[in-house]
């Protein structure tokens, strides 16, 4: 698989091509990647990223066979949110990809069968109204090419989505009136048709969705009043029914999730509690799906708050190098243990030798 063309390597998912290490949770920050070091109970900055500060993180991040795709970014204030990059955890190289067809932010991305589908979000502002995007674009991983796929997409922003049984399930977010919603949909990629399903039990936005044990989980986010959502909902696809899986440990006054994701058989969430608008406590938790209980976990790094999270496998040598560089009094590394990634940005065309 190492001798395949670079753009085809993410399509190879045989045992021989996999990195032989356990996956770790990765937060995709503005200018660097962070890994959750469960053994040392901390978040580490593992490498730089060729992105610009994009607060409030309008881009999307997704993995395809252990390659990270970061979509809808920009590298300068003159660029729209259209740039796309791919990151290899094996070589620590960033590759610049073809840009999105349209400027788009706060959208959702899902991978099914050699294609990445993006939907939702908005282009920008028209006077005081956000211009929502109802088109669905898809990206061919093999050909490094975007195409317009459907005009039957949802007019939502800050939504979440996931793939299940070759269908895209999506929901939550904000509608055209800028209200948070609980609506939930199924998009059939073969018929290019969007169908309503049972709504989530609570409206939420800026949340995560993942598939565990044939169930779709909606994790964290914010409610219609801007308060943190302290529950994880579970959706039964066969019965079209939502239930509460668990509640996030209680708050001191008000609680806001600042990072969430899933790695292996554990769900991670980091929250901060406030009182009178002041942060009084920060806490991190794992939810063990097998034991069905919460345990303490490291608080997310301050530069990784509200960032997209994904699972990636890194070579043991890379993670060991990171651990060796970090001293007992430090929690971050400001460069890759292998290369200076600030200068490693190639295009797909450049790499097709």
Look at residue 295 and tell me if it is in a domain: no
Look at residue 275 and tell me if it is in a domain: no
Strands 122-126 and 184-188: unpaired
Supply the mean pLDDT for the chain: 81
Under a CB-based contact definition with an 8 Å cutoff, are residues 103 and 123 in contact? Answer: yes
Look at residue 268 and tell me if it is in a domain: no
pTM recorded for the entire structure? 0.85
- 131 against 164, higher pLDDT: 164
- Average pLDDT for residues 24-29, to the nearest whole number? 91
Query: What range does the domain containing 131 cover?
Result: 22-247+310-341
- 256 against 24, higher pLDDT: 24
Name the pLDDT band for 21 (thresholds 50, 70, 90). Answer: confident
* pLDDT tens digit sequence for 164-220: 999 999 999 998 777 889 999 999 999 999 999 999 999 999 899 999 999 999 998
* pLDDT tens digit sequence for 70-104: 998 765 555 567 889 999 998 899 999 999 998 88
Tell me, what CATH number does 66's domain have?
Answer: 2.120.10.80
| Whole-number CA gyration radius for the chain | 19
Look at residue 301 and tell me if it is in a domain: no
**Structural domain count of the chain:** 1
112-121, 215-224, 299-308, range with greatest mean pLDDT: 112-121
Under a CB-based contact definition with an 8 Å cutoff, are residues 8 and 144 in contact? Answer: no
Look at residue 297 and tell me if it is in a domain: no
Look at residue 48 and tell me if it is in a domain: yes
């Amino acid at each position: 698989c190492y001798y395949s063309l670079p753009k085809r390597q993410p399509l190879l998912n045989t045992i021989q091509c996999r990195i032989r290490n356990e996956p770790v949770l990765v937060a995709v920050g503005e200018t660097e990647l962070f890994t959750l070091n469960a053994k040392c109970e901390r978040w580490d900055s593992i490498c730089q990223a060729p992105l610009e500060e994009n607060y409030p993180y309008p881009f999307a991040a997704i993995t395809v066979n252990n390659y990270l795709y970061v979509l809808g970014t920009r590298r300068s204030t003159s660029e729209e949110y259209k740039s796309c990059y791919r990151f290899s955890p094996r070589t620590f190289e960033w590759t610049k990809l073809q840009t999105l067809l349209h400027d788009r932010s706060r959208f959702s991305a899902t991978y099914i069968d050699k294609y990445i589908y993006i939907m939702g979000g908005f282009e920008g502002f028209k006077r005081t109204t956000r211009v929502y995007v109802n088109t669905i674009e898809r990206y061919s991983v093999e050909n490094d090419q975007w195409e317009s796929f459907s005009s039957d997409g949802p007019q939502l922003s800050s939504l979440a989505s996931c793939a299940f049984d070759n269908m895209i399930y999506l929901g939550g977010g904000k509608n055209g009136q800028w209200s948070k919603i609980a609506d939930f949909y199924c998009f059939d990629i073969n018929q290019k048709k969007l169908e309503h399903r049972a709504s989530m039990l609570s409206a939420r936005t800026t949340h995560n969705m993942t598939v565990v044990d044939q169930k779709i989980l909606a994790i964290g986010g914010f409610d219609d009043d801007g308060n943190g959502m302290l529950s994880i909902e579970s959706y039964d696809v066969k019965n079209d029914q939502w239930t509460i899986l668990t509640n996030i440990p209680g708050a001191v006054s008000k609680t806001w999730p600042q990072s969430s994701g899933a790695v292996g058989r554990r769900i991670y969430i980091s929250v901060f509690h406030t009182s009178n608008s002041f942060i009084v406590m920060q806490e991190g938790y794992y939810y063990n799906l097998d034991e069905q209980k919460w345990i303490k976990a490291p608080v997310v790094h301050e530069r990784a708050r509200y960032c997209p999270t994904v699972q990636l496998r890194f070579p043991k040598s890379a993670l060991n190098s990171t651990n060796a560089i970090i001293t007992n009094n430090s929690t971050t590394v400001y460069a890759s243990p292998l290369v200076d990634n600030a200068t490693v940005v190639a295009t797909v065309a450049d790499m097709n030798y």
